[in-house]
Chains A and B, each alone.
Chain A
Amino acid sequence: MGVDSFVSWLRDVAVSLHDNAAYLTELDSAIGDADHGANMDRGFQAVVGVLDETSFDSADELLKKAGMTLVSKVGGASGPLYGTFFLRFGTALAGADLTPETIGKGLHAGVEGVLARGKAELGDKTMYDAWAPALEAYDAAVAGGSDLGTALTAAAEAAAKGRDATIPLVARKGRASYLGERSAGHQDPGATSTTLILESAARTLP
C-alpha cells in the first residue's frame, strides 16, 4: 500500500460525509448547533480540492495537509479535532513503512491529539466514545495477527458500537453539554462521523 490508498480513503470519506451530511446535521440539530454535517462536508470537499490540485509523495505529507485543510475549513470544533487527528496521524507516519503496526501507532497518535485538544473522557458523549473502542479492537486484531483490512473492519464495527452507546449518555463536552440531561437519548454526531471515517478506512485503505 502507498500514498494512493490514503488518497482513496480521503476521497471516500468526502463522499461518505457528503452523502451523510444531512443525517449528521440532523443529529447535531438535536443536541448541538446543527452544523456538523455541513461543516464536515465543507472540510472534506476542501480536502478533495487539495487532492485534485496537488500530488503527494508520502502519506504523512498528505495526511498533514488534510489536517491543516480541515483546521481552516470545518469551522466547528470538529475542525481542530479532526485536523489534529490527521496532523498527528501523518506526523507519526513520517519515515515509517506503512504496516498495520505503524498505522496503528499513527491512529493512536491522532486520537491522543484529539484527546489533548478536546480534553474529553470516555462517556462524555463525544467522538472519543467511538475512537476508544475502535483503537482497542484494532490493537487486539493486529496483536492477533490480523491484516490491516480485518483490523480496520474490527475497528469500524467497534466504533459503531461505541457510537450507538452514546445515545443514552448525557453530554459533558461541547455545545451539547449546554443541554445537560436533555442531551440523553440522542446519538452523538461526532462519534457518528468518526465511525463513517473508520468504515471508509476499512473499505479503502487495505
Chain B
Amino acid sequence: MIGIVVVSHSRALADAAVGLAAEMVAEDKRPVIAVAAGLDATTFGTDAMAVSEALGAADSPDGVLVLLDLGSAVLSAEMALEFVDPELAARVRLTSAPLVEGLVAAVVTASTDASLDAVAAEAERGLAGKQDHLGVATTETAPVVEADRTVELVVGNEHGLHARPAARLVGLVNGFDAVVALTDLDTGKGPVDAGSLSMVATLNAQQGHRLRVGASGQQAAEALAAVEELAKQNFGDGFPELAPAGSQPIGSAPGGSGLDVAIGPAVLAGAQIELGDYVAGDNELGRLDDALATAGDQLRELRDLHGDIFAAHLALLGDRKVLDDVRGSIAAGASAPAAWQQVYGALATAFEGLDDEYQRERAQDVRAVRDRVLRLLVGVTEKAPTEGILVVPELDAATAATLDATRIAGIAVRAAGTTGHGVIVARSRGIPLITGIGNVEVPPGAVVSFDARTGSFEVAPDEDRVRATITEREGERSIAIEDADRPATTRDGRTIDVLVNVGVIQDAVDARGADGSGLVRTEVLFGDRRTAPTVDEQVDAFRAIAQALGGKPITIRTWDIGGDKPLPFLPQDREANPFLGERGLRVFRRRPELLRDQLEAVRRTAAETPVHVMFPMVTTADEVAWALQELGPRDGLEVGIMVEVPAAALRVGSLATELDFVSIGTNDLTQYTTAADRTNAAVAPLADGLDPAVLQLIDHVVRNAGVRVAVCGDLASDPQAAVLLAALGVTELSAVGPQVPLVKAQLRQADLGRVDTAAVLAARDAAQVRGLL
C-alpha cells in the first residue's frame, strides 16, 4: 500500500484533513499518513526538512503520494525531494490535487492497495463530485469500458450512496481484477467508474435509486457478486430503519380471532382534529418546534418497531421545503396548528391528485403526519387503536400490518371493496373485518358491532345478542379447527382440496388442516430482500414451507411482480398503467435471468418433495410455450398457469393443452373483467368477485380447461363463495390460513348438487348472487 504525506502551512488544517479522510476507511485498512505542517502547532509555515522526514515515515515500496496546500508547501516539498535518498525521491509523487478532497479520495483509493498512479489519478479527480454538484462543467469523465455482465440493485441507504457507503463500494471494487461501472437508472447518470470515489460521488444516487452495475475483466462475476452482497448489507450502513419486527413481511404479526363478527368500543381513526379551542400564543414557532421534536421521537420509536412506513413519515416530518412554508405562514400570523394543517393538508391533496397509486398512498402518509403533529399542537392525546373496533375511512396495508391484532377486536372500513391491500392483509391476519359501512355516524367510544357474514354494522347493538353470536361463531370455529385435518368432503361425496396461501413461511407453520399450499407467493416470500435470493436460498425456503405442511404438495408461483407489487431487486420503469403493463410473466420475457434461477430452485425442490409450479399473468399460448421452454424438463413437476386475464379465461382450452392445471386468481380476474381498480375506493365496489360476469368466466374455465381447475384468489377464502366455486366444478381452493378450517367446515356441510349454479350465473349482479348463497 502506498504511503501518503500531507504538507500544509497549518498543523491544525493538516490534522483535520487527515481526520476527515481517515474516517472513510477502517483503521486496519488505512495507508500510513504522515503530516508535515506548520512550523509548530500554531505557526503557519512549511519546512522542507519536516517534509523529508515525513517522506521517510510514509515511505513504501509502492510509492508515496504527497498532497499539499499552496505556495511554500509546494516549494518545500520539492526541496525535500532533494534532501531524501534519490531512490525514495523517485518513488514520491507530488500531486496538484485539492488538499481536502484529494486526500479523502487518495486515502480511500490507497486503502484498496491501488497503485500510486491510480491513487494520484483519483486524488486529482477529487473535485469532480463538487463540480458536478455545483453545476461546474467538467470535461473529464472516467473511461468506462463496455461491461461483460450487469446486475441491477437498489440503494437502500437512508442517505443514498453517500461518502461512507461509496467508499466501501470503491474499496470493494478495487479489490477485484475487474472494471466496474455504475449507472443510476433513475437519473440516467453514468456509467461512472465504481472504483473511483469521486466518480461514484457524482452519481449522487439517492435512497431508492436503481443502479445498474456493469463489470468486465477477469473477475467481473466475482466483483458483481461482491457488490450485490455489499448492497444487500446497505453498503455497510446496516439497517437502522428495519427493526426485527418491521423487517418481517406483512402478515407475520400475531393474528386476530379469525372470526367474522366483533364487538367493542369504536376507535375512530382519520377523524378531523378540531382546532376550535386552540389559543395562539406569542411563540407559535417554538410550539411548532416542540411538537416536531416530540413527533420525531414518536416516529423513531414506531420506525424501530414497525419499520419502513414510519421512516417515510419521518422523512415527511423533516421536509425542509414544506417546513419553510409552514414557518412562513406562521410568520405571516397564522397559528402553528392552522399553518401546519393548511400546508400538510394541501400537500396531501396534491398527492391525492396524482394518478399513480403509489403516490396516492403517500397522501395517506402525509395525512398521518399532519394529524400526528396537529394532535401534539392542540394537546389531543393519540388514541392508538389498541382495544376495540377500529373505524377507518379506508384501510391501508401499513395500518393493517402493524395493528396489535391480539387486542383490536375488529376493523370496520367505511369504503367499500373487499380486495384492497389493507383488507387482504387484515384478513390474512385473522382480524375480523367489515367493509363498506359508509358514512354511519359513530361517536368515539360508542360500542359498535358488526357481522361480516350478514353484512351488518350496528352502533349500540344488543350486546348480549352479539356476544351470543360471537360465542356461536367461536364454537363453529373451534369445531372447524378441531376437524381441520378431516378432508373437505361434501354431503354429496365430492372431496375438495383446501390449501393455504403462503406469503411467509410462518403462514405454512400456522396453517391448520391445509391440504398443501395452492399458492406460494414468491415475491412476498422474498419481498423484504434488497437483492435477489440465490437458488440455494430459494430451495431452503421452499423446503421449509413443504416441511411445515407435512410434505403435502406446494404450488410455487413464479415471481409475480409489477403492477402494484414492485420488487426491490427487480426494479421496473414507472408505467402509466402498471396493471396493464409489464406484470408477472411479462416482465421476464425481456429479462429472464431471475426467472431461470427460480425455475432451477423449483426443479431442485421438486426432487425432494411434491411441487407444482405456475406462471402468473399469462395471456397467450405463445407465453405458455415460452414459459415451458424456460422450465425445461418437467420430470415429476406439475405445471400450470394462473388465469387472471379475461383473454386467458376465454381461450383456456388452447392455453392448457400442455399443462397439468390452471389456477384462477379471482382478484385480478375480477378487476380486469370489471375494469375497476380494487385500490380505488371510488370504483372498488364494482370489483366484486361475486359479479356474475366473473363467475361466468370461472364457469367457462372449468368447462373448457380440460385440466384440473383451482382457485387461489380471495374468493376461495370466503366459505360461502367456496361452496359456489366447488359447485361450479373447481376442485382445489387455496385460502388464507385462518379461513382454511372454516372453508373446509362449510364444504362439509354443503350439498353441491343443491347449489343452483344456473341461477347464480344468470344473476343480475353480485348482490343477487349473495342472496342466492
A positions within 8 Å CB-CB of B: 33, 35, 39, 68, 71-81, 83-84, 117-118, 174-175
Q: What 8 pairs between A and B have smallest CB-CB spacing?
A: A75-B45, A80-B75, A77-B72, A80-B79, A71-B48, A72-B49, A72-B47, A75-B39
Give the shortest distance, in Å, between A81 (CB) and chain B (any CB): 7
CB <8 Å contact, A71 and B79? yes
CB <8 Å contact, A118 and B39? no
Return chain A residues, CB-CB under 8 Å to B46.
75, 79-80
Q: Is B294 an interface residue (CB 8 A)?
A: no
Partner of A79, one of B43, B72, B78: B72
CB <8 Å contact, A81 and B75? yes
Return chain A residues, CB-CB under 8 Å to B75.
77, 79-81, 117-118
Return chain A residues, CB-CB under 8 Å to B45.
39, 74-76, 79
> Considering only CB atoms, which chain A residue lies closest to B70 in the complex?
A175
Q: Is B71 an interface residue (CB 8 A)?
A: yes
Return chain B residues, CB-CB under 8 Å to A33.
44
Return chain B residues, CB-CB under 8 Å to A35.
44
Apart from the given pairs A84-B79, A117-B79, 10 other A-B contacts in the complex at a CB distance below 8 Å: A71-B49, A72-B47, A75-B72, A76-B71, A79-B47, A79-B48, A80-B72, A81-B75, A118-B75, A175-B70
Return chain B residues, CB-CB under 8 Å to A73.
39, 47
Give the shortest distance, in Å, between A78 (CB) and chain B (any CB): 8
CB <8 Å contact, B79 and A83? yes
Tell me, in angstroms, the Cα distance from A118 to B78 when the chains sit together: 10
CB <8 Å contact, A71 and B47? yes
Give the shortest distance, in Å, between B14 (CB) and chain A (any CB): 14
Return chain B residues, CB-CB under 8 Å to A83.
48, 79
Give the shortest distance, in Å, between B221 (CB) and chain A (any CB): 50
* Residues 74-88 of chain B, each 1 if its beta carbon lies under 8 Å from chain A, else 0: 011011000000000
Q: Is B121 an interface residue (CB 8 A)?
A: no
Tell me, in angstroms, the Cα distance from A78 to B39 when the chains sit together: 14
Tell me, in angstroms, the Cα distance from A83 to B39 when the chains sit together: 15
> Considering only CB atoms, which chain A residue lies closest to B38 in the complex?
A75
Q: Is B631 an interface residue (CB 8 A)?
A: no
Tell me the residues in window 632-675 of chain B with beta carbons closer than 8 Å to chain A beta carbons.
none
Return chain A residues, CB-CB under 8 Å to B9.
75
> Considering only CB atoms, which chain B residue lies closest to A80 in the complex?
B75
Return chain B residues, CB-CB under 8 Å to A74.
45
Tell me, in angstroms, the Cα distance from A118 to B39 when the chains sit together: 20
Return chain A residues, CB-CB under 8 Å to B70.
175
Return chain A residues, CB-CB under 8 Å to B323.
none
Tell me, in angstroms, the Cα distance from A39 to B76 when the chains sit together: 15
Q: Is B50 an interface residue (CB 8 A)?
A: yes
Tell me, in angstroms, the Cα distance from A83 to B49 when the chains sit together: 11
CB <8 Å contact, B47 and A75? yes
> Considering only CB atoms, which chain A residue lies closest to B45 in the complex?
A75
Interface-centre pick from B43, B47, B48, B72 (highest chain A CB count, 10 A): B72
Return chain B residues, CB-CB under 8 Å to A72.
39, 47-50
CB <8 Å contact, A117 and B78? yes
Main secondary structure of the interface of A (DSSP, over half): helix
Tell me, in angstroms, the Cα distance from A73 to B46 when the chains sit together: 8
* Residues 321-334 of chain B, each 1 if its beta carbon lies under 8 Å from chain A, else 0: 00000000000000
> Considering only CB atoms, which chain A residue lies closest to B50 in the complex?
A72
CB <8 Å contact, A76 and B49? no
Give the shortest distance, in Å, between A12 (CB) and chain B (any CB): 24
Interface-centre pick from A33, A71, A72, A117 (highest chain B CB count, 10 A): A71
CB <8 Å contact, B76 and A80? yes
Q: Contacts A117-B75, A174-B71, A175-B71 given: A80-B48 contact, CB under 8 Å? A: yes
Give the shortest distance, in Å, between B79 (CB) and chain A (any CB): 5
Return chain B residues, CB-CB under 8 Å to A79.
45-48, 72, 75-76
> Considering only CB atoms, which chain A residue lies closest to B79 in the complex?
A80
Q: List 26 A-B contacts (CB under 8 A).
A: A33-B44, A35-B44, A71-B47, A71-B48, A71-B76, A72-B39, A72-B48, A74-B45, A75-B43, A75-B44, A76-B72, A77-B75, A78-B72, A79-B46, A79-B47, A79-B72, A80-B46, A80-B48, A80-B78, A81-B75, A83-B48, A83-B79, A117-B75, A117-B79, A118-B75, A175-B70
Return chain B residues, CB-CB under 8 Å to A84.
79
Return chain A residues, CB-CB under 8 Å to B44.
33, 35, 75
Tell me, in angstroms, the Cα distance from A71 to B45 when the chains sit together: 10
Tell me, in angstroms, the Cα distance from A140 to B530 when the chains sit together: 81
Return chain A residues, CB-CB under 8 Å to B47.
71-73, 75, 79
Tell me, in angstroms, the Cα distance from A87 to B708 when the chains sit together: 99
Tell me, in angstroms, the Cα distance from A74 to B78 when the chains sit together: 16
Return chain A residues, CB-CB under 8 Å to B76.
71, 79-80
Tell me, in angstroms, the Cα distance from A84 to B78 when the chains sit together: 11
Give the shortest distance, in Å, between A143 (CB) and chain B (any CB): 32
Tell me, in angstroms, the Cα distance from A174 to B73 when the chains sit together: 11
CB <8 Å contact, A77 and B71? yes
Tell me the residues in window 43-60 of chain B with beta carbons closer than 8 Å to chain A beta carbons.
43-50
Give the shortest distance, in Å, between A66 (CB) and chain B (any CB): 14
Tell me, in angstroms, the Cα distance from A35 to B45 when the chains sit together: 10
Tell me the residues in window 321-356 of chain B with beta carbons closer than 8 Å to chain A beta carbons.
none
Return chain A residues, CB-CB under 8 Å to B78.
80, 117
Interface-centre pick from A75, A84, A175 (highest chain B CB count, 10 A): A75
Tell me, in angstroms, the Cα distance from A83 to B47 when the chains sit together: 11
Give the shortest distance, in Å, between B89 (CB) and chain A (any CB): 15
> Considering only CB atoms, which chain A residue lies closest to B76 in the complex?
A80
Give the shortest distance, in Å, between B8 (CB) and chain A (any CB): 12
Return chain B residues, CB-CB under 8 Å to A175.
70-71
Return chain B residues, CB-CB under 8 Å to A68.
49
Tell me, in angstroms, the Cα distance from A36 to B262 when the chains sit together: 88
> Considering only CB atoms, which chain B residue lies closest to A69 in the complex?
B49
Tell me, in angstroms, the Cα distance from A49 to B45 when the chains sit together: 20
Give the shortest distance, in Å, between B561 (CB) and chain A (any CB): 58
Return chain A residues, CB-CB under 8 Å to B79.
71, 80, 83-84, 117
Return chain B residues, CB-CB under 8 Å to A76.
45, 71-72
Tell me, in angstroms, the Cα distance from A42 to B49 when the chains sit together: 16
Return chain A residues, CB-CB under 8 Å to B43.
75
> Considering only CB atoms, which chain A residue lies closest to B44 in the complex?
A75
Tell me the residues in window 15-47 of chain B with beta carbons closer than 8 Å to chain A beta carbons.
39, 43-47
Return chain B residues, CB-CB under 8 Å to A71.
47-49, 76, 79
Tell me, in angstroms, the Cα distance from A77 to B71 when the chains sit together: 6
Tell me, in angstroms, the Cα distance from A79 to B46 when the chains sit together: 8
Tell me, in angstroms, the Cα distance from A181 to B215 when the chains sit together: 51
Tell me, in angstroms, the Cα distance from A39 to B44 when the chains sit together: 10
Interface-centre pick from A72, A84, A118 (highest chain B CB count, 10 A): A72
Tell me, in angstroms, the Cα distance from A110 to B45 when the chains sit together: 22
Tell me, in angstroms, the Cα distance from A174 to B43 when the chains sit together: 19
Give the shortest distance, in Å, between B76 (CB) and chain A (any CB): 5
> Considering only CB atoms, which chain B residue lies closest to A71 in the complex?
B48
Interface-centre pick from A35, A73, A80, A118 (highest chain B CB count, 10 A): A80
Return chain B residues, CB-CB under 8 Å to A117.
75, 78-79
Tell me, in angstroms, the Cα distance from A33 to B76 when the chains sit together: 17
* Residues 586-621 of chain B, each 1 if its beta carbon lies under 8 Å from chain A, else 0: 000000000000000000000000000000000000
Tell me, in angstroms, the Cα distance from A35 to B48 when the chains sit together: 18
Tell me, in angstroms, the Cα distance from A54 to B47 when the chains sit together: 22
Return chain A residues, CB-CB under 8 Å to B49.
68, 71-72
Tell me, in angstroms, the Cα distance from A75 to B75 when the chains sit together: 11
